[in-house]
């Protein structure tokens, strides 16, 4: 089977035709993207987006003080806003963008207690919204492995989650670790969540481990991010996927479509 791709934005989409698998290609046109955040991940997002021929405008903390860059006037001509900032300002950014009618991709974590509130606002305003604890395709494959391994918790295995990040990371446990904890509890059907141990050291990009242990053996799963490139690529692909769509989405539910 051949997969044809059209241009740098081409995506191969399998469709059924007379019992055969045929690949249909479509293109995502260049978007006008406002990137919130000038940190290490944000810089990688800007680089990836530019490589994929999107037009990027960046607003750091100075330009976006009190959401000054997120008024309707300032957002004129912007197709999508991508947020990689900090937990304390993420909710303000989300409310401003959604009320301005702009689609949004959010990689900032630490605001999930307000998830239902944001979902209601997105549905009311009729915008497109996509968030993730982690936009890495690799970590989402790791989630699938951990989901399968969670069945061990029904067979006299104990478990723990360990996560390591750089010393500048604001939240602990990480959003990824919390998502992993919730997913494994739901998959195993157990009441007690796995304990999370967090470490903040050096310039560690992100390392997540799951250890499941019985008297007979040990199951060890690990995802170690070597750079922030994976997060950035996933976020830009997510923005492309969201283009023209409305609704509230979690990246872990749509990443297979990329």
User: For position 252, which CATH number holds?
Assistant: 3.40.50.720
In this prediction the pTM is: 0.83
Residues 52 and 164 in one domain: no
Q: Residue ranges of the chain with pLDDT lower than 70? A: 1-26
Q: What is the maximum span of the chain, computed from C-alpha positions, in angstroms?
A: 63
Q: Are residues 157 and 171 in the same domain?
A: yes
Choose among 237, 132, 219: nearest CA to 179. Answer: 132
Task: Give pLDDT, residue 4.
Answer: 40
Query: Is 71 found in the same domain as 192?
Result: no
Q: Which residues are catalytic?
A: 165, 169
The reported pLDDT for the residue numbered 85 is 95
Please say whether the beta carbons of 49 and 33 come within 8 A.
yes
Three-state secondary structure along 6-56?
CCCCCEEEEEEECCEEEEEEECCCCCEEEEECCCHHHHHHHHHHHHCCCEE
> Domain check: are 124 and 89 in the same one?
yes
Residues 205 and 88 in one domain: no
Do residue 104 and residue 61 come from a single domain?
Answer: yes
pLDDT at 207: 97
Q: In this structure, are 14 and 68 located in the same domain?
A: no
What residue numbers bound the domain in which 1 lies?
A: 1-28
The confidence score (pLDDT) of residue 147 equals 96
- Do both 187 and 166 map to the same domain? yes
Return the pLDDT at 132.
96
- Residue 82 sits in the same domain as residue 205: no
Residues 204 and 233 reside in one and the same domain: no
pLDDT tens track for 87-105: 999 999 999 999 999 999 9
Same-domain check for residues 117 and 68? yes
Q: How far is the C-alpha of 176 from the C-alpha of 139, rounded, in Å? A: 9
What are the tens digits of pLDDT across the range 60-84?
Answer: 999 999 999 999 999 999 999 999 9
């Amino acid at each position: 089977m051949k997969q044809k791709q059209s241009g740098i934005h081409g995506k191969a989409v399998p469709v059924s035709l007379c019992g055969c698998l045929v690949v249909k290609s479509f293109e995502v046109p260049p978007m006008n993207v406002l990137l919130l955040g000038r940190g290490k991940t944000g810089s990688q997002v800007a680089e990836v987006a530019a490589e994929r021929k999107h037009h990027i405008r960046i607003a750091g903390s100075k330009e976006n003080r009190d959401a000054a860059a997120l008024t309707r006037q300032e957002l004129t001509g912007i197709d999508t806003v991508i947020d990689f900032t900090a937990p304390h300002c993420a909710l303000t950014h989300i409310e401003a963008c959604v009320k301005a009618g702009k689609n949004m991709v959010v990689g900032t974590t630490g605001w999930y207690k307000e998830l239902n509130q944001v979902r209601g606002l997105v549905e009311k305003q009729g915008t497109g919204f996509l968030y993730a604890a982690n936009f890495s395709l690799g970590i989402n494959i790791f989630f699938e492995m951990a989901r399968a391994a969670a069945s061990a918790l029904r067979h006299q295995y104990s478990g723990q989650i360990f996560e390591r990040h750089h010393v500048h990371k604001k939240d602990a446990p990480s959003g990824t670790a919390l998502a992993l904890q919730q997913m494994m509890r739901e998959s195993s059907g157990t009441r007690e969540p796995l304990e999370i141990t967090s470490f903040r050291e050096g310039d560690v990009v992100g390392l997540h481990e799951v250890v499941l242990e019985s008297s007979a053996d040990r199951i060890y799963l690990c995802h170690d991010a070597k750079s922030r490139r994976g997060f950035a690529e996933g976020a830009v692909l997510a923005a492309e996927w969201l283009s023209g769509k409305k609704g509230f989405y979690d990246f872990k539910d749509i990443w297979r479509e990329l």
